[in-house]
Structure 1
Amino acid sequence: MRFAGELVPATLIRRYKRFLADVELTDGTIITAHVANPGAMTGLQTEGARVWLSKSPSLTRKLPYSWELVEVDFGRAQELVGVNTMHPNPIVAEALAAGVIPELAGYATIRREVKYGRIINGKGSRVDFLLEDPAKPLCYVEVKNVHLMRRPGVAEFPDSVTARGAKHLDELAEMVATGARAVMLFVIQIGSASSFALARDIDPAYGRAFDRARAAGVEALAWTCKLTEQDIVLGQPVPIEP
C-alpha cells in the first residue's frame, strides 16, 4: 500500500481525545492532525517523537493532516511503526490479490465488507474479507491491527479493551460451525516483531474469546509489515505464542 503523496515529517507535542494530535512541523508551525486510532497507543505517543503525516487534497476537510507513522525504539533500534488502523485492510487486500499469504491463496474471488453473523438490535457485522471458490468452503477473514510492543520482538493485541473484537471471534466460530473456514489475521505494523501474543492482562475477555474460537476451529495468523515513508506492505509470518 503506497501512501497517496509524500509524507510530511513533524514532532509530536501531544495526542488527546483519542483522535487528535498536536504536532510541530519542521518550519515551526503547530497544527492539529487526525489520529485514525481508537486504541491506547501505548509507547507510541511520547512527546517529542518524530512522526510522519499525510495531507489530504480535500479543500473542505477540517483536519487536512493525518498521523501515519512514528519512529520508536522498542529496545533494539529506532524503527517506523504504523499508527493508522485503517491501513491493515488495504495492505491485506493487496497481499490476497498477489497470493502472498499461502493459507489464503487459490480462491477464485475476494469480496470485502460482507455482512455475516448475528443480527443484534437490527445490526449485524461485516467480515473484512470473504474468499470464495467453487472447489472450497467459504473462508471468512477478519483483520486486526497490531501496534503494541511491551517486550522487544513480541507484538501484542489488543492495546485496550475491545468488546467488538471478542464479538467478532465468536461470530467467526459460528461460521466454522456451518462448515466454512474462518481466519483471524493479525497485521503487525512493526517490522521488528518476531512473535505475537495476546495481551491477556489488558483484556481478559478477549483472551477467553480467542481461546473459545481456536477450540472451535478458527485459524489464527500473524504477519509483520515492512514500513517505509513511501509504503507499507505485508512482511513475513511470525509464530503466535500460547
Structure 2
Amino acid sequence: MSNTPEQQQIDHWLKVARDGLTQTEEDFKSGFYEAENISIESVHTGTAMLYASLARAKFLNGDPIAEVRAEFANAARHILKSFRMAYDETDPDYQGEKADLSAVSETIAIDGLNFALMAADFDLAVELGRGYRDRPDGFSLGLDVNRYVNALAFTVRDRLEDARQRLQAQFDDYARKPPKSAADRNYHSLVTALSGILERDAARFNEGLAAQLKIYQGYARGEGKNTTFEFICDYAVALANLGLRRGLAVTAEHPTLPRGLLIQP
C-alpha cells in the first residue's frame, strides 16, 4: 500500500472539505438547520469531520505541519462544543433535556480525542476528556467501546487508576471470550495499545499499534479507499502521539502511520 495519493485526488479532497465548510457556514447563517429541525450539535459534529478531512488532505498535500495540526484542533473543538451543548450548564448554548444525544456518542468522543491528539494539543485533549459523559439515557454502543472511550478520557486527564479499572475489566472479558469478529479485534488492539501507554510498556503499546494498523488495512482498502482515510489511520496516529508524549518509542510501522504526523519524542 502506498501512502502517496495522486495530486488530483488531494486537490479534490481539499476542495470538497473547503466547499463543505463554506456551505455549512452559509446554511447556519441562513437558518437552514433550524428550519429543517437539524440539531446544531450534529452540525458541529459534521463540521468536525470536514475539518479532519481537510487536515488529512493538507498533510498529504505537503502543507506545513502547524497548519495540519491547526485543522485537527478545529475538528476537536467542534466536537467539544457538541458535548458542552449537551452537558455543560455554563455553555451559552446548553441544550439540557433537548440535547441531541446522537451527536455525543462514544465513537464521536473517540474521534474528538483522536483529533486533539493528532493536533498534538494535549490541553485540548484534557478538555475533551473532561467533557465526555456516558449518555444519561443509558444507551451504549457496547461495553468494549464504552470502556475504551472512558479509559482514553481518563488517561489524557492523568486519572490513571480509573483508566486501568476500565481496561482491566475489558481484558477480563477478553479472557472469558477471546475477540473474534473484526469489531472485537479492533477494540482489542486499541485497548492493548492504551494499556501499554498506561503501564509504560513499550512492547505492549507497539503490539497494540501493530494490530490496529493490520486491522485498519482492510478498511483502508475497502470502505476507506479513495478517501483520506485510505492513507492515514487516525486511531494509530492519536495513540502513537499519546505514547510518545508519555515517553514510549513507536516501533510499529505502516504506511497509514505517517511519521510526519507524529510528535518529536
TM-score, structure 2 normalization: 0.28
Higher helix share: 2
TM-score, structure 1 normalization: 0.30
